[in-house]
Amino acid sequence: MELVQFIPLDINNALLLIVVGFVGGMVSGFIGSGGAFVLTPAMMSLGVPGIVAVASNMCHKFPKALVGTIKRHKYGQVDLKLGLIMGVFAEAGVLTGKHFMSGIKHDFGAVGTDLYVSVIFIVTLAIVGTYVLKDYRKLKAGGGESTEVPKLARWVQSVHIPGTMVWSEGAKAHISLVFIAPVAFATGMLAATIAVGGFIGVPAMIYLFGLPAIMASATELMIAFVMGLGGTIFYALEGVVDVRLAMLILLGSLFGVQLGAIGTTYVKDYQVKLVMATIMLIALFSRFFYIPGYLSKLGLIEAMDEGTLKMLKLGGDIVLGIALVLGAVIVLTSLIKGIREHKASQIPSPGVGMQD
């Protein structure tokens, strides 16, 4: 038997969740990706078990993803057919990922899921963070985003396997299910593990399938909705979705996400990439502080005393706090500075005014 507890909803926890949601939302609106990569570890820092944090995050994301899909579909940015097909395979990935997570919870308890989520977080954020940092350097050096179809995508589009070809409106090409299915499955697996599937889905759609970046991120929203809804149902059947947490995170994040999205229109592309990489790498670093505690509780290393565990947890909380505060400060200062500069540029000089 496993005792399952949701954290008490006292005023301190509620306020912290709202603030974390606000900052996480602001960062996610600014960098254009789901904020779960800061929200999931932040929830875990508040004492929420890994499996409940992931499940509740999926629950907070899917209605937002639906609204985003509808909005961006109006601008013609969503590849509906590809999104739907990927959604189906991603759902299989979510189911498998959830099954795996439940197995860990059953065999090792909630601490087992904490360790599992943390390790996958570190690996994923290290890969994605490093890649984004490289992208930042390229963009800053004046490389710019290439509009050409990547070489790998051209090869994928050239592979013709009868009976498996799917027309992608976004890529303007046929793509075989042989490529679509594993990518979508992996996206779902990652979503069910750390609540962020877009780290696989978006780059794969750009570099493997040849979709323009704007269509890839819009189509990912549709996949995120399908995965989020499915994930919420699967995890809710296990009784681990804490909708109170999800909604308190949402309370802050809906304000933050719009502020962050407005902020991006006032800054340069490479600045956004730098913020993304910095926050990812700091959030990654914070997880290292918690791992000894998990290993100790699982009996995988020598038992550590309470004082040391508390100090390590405090260290992790501080590092994660730095990531969140840094994210908030960068977004807000960019927004304020950008608005000032924009307003200054809008004031016509006296001479120009006379001519009008």
Partner 1 sequence: MAATSSRGLVRMLVYGILTFVFYWGLVTYSEEISHLSLTTPDTCVVAQGPETGVYHKPEAEACQAKGGTMQDGNWMHVLAPIVIAFVISFSHGAFTGLFWEVVGLKAKK
Per CB under 8 A, 72 contacts partner 1: no
182/348 with CB nearer partner 1? 348
Number of residues counted as binding partner 1 (CB under 8 A): 41
Q: Looking at residues 258 to 297 of the shown chain, list those that interact with partner 1 (rule: CB under 8 A).
A: 258-259, 261-262, 265-266
Per CB under 8 A, 109 contacts partner 1: no
* DSSP secondary structure, 259-325, as one string: HHHHHHTTS-HHHHHHHHHHHHHHHHHHHHHHHHHHHHHTTSSPPPPHHHHHHHHHHHHHHHHHHHH
Alpha carbon separation from 252 to 7, 18, 26, 184 (Å, rounded):
18, 5, 9, 30
Per CB under 8 A, 333 contacts partner 1: no
Per CB under 8 A, 62 contacts partner 1: yes
- Under DSSP, the state recorded for 134 is H
Cβ proximity of 2 and 49 under 8 Å: no
63/321 with CB nearer partner 1? 63
Kindly state the smallest distance separating residue 247's Cβ from partner 1, in Å.
5
262/291 with CB nearer partner 1? 262
Per CB under 8 A, 4 contacts partner 1: yes
Per CB under 8 A, 233 contacts partner 1: yes
Kindly state the smallest distance separating residue 260's Cβ from partner 1, in Å.
11
265/349 with CB nearer partner 1? 265
- The string over 78-113, giving b where at least 16 C-beta atoms fall within 10 Å of a residue's C-beta and e elsewhere, is bbeebbebbbbbbbebbbebbeebbebbeebebbbb
Per CB under 8 A, 9 contacts partner 1: yes
Per CB under 8 A, 241 contacts partner 1: yes
Angle, nearest 10°, between helix axes 80-140 and 198-207? 90
Identify the CA nearest to 81 among candidates 174, 159, 163, 202.
174
Identify the CA nearest to 53 among candidates 23, 26, 29, 17.
17
Per CB under 8 A, 251 contacts partner 1: yes
Binding site for partner 1 (CB under 8 A): 1-6, 9, 14, 59-60, 62-64, 67, 106, 229, 232-233, 236-244, 246-247, 250-251, 254-255, 258-259, 261-262, 265-266, 338, 342
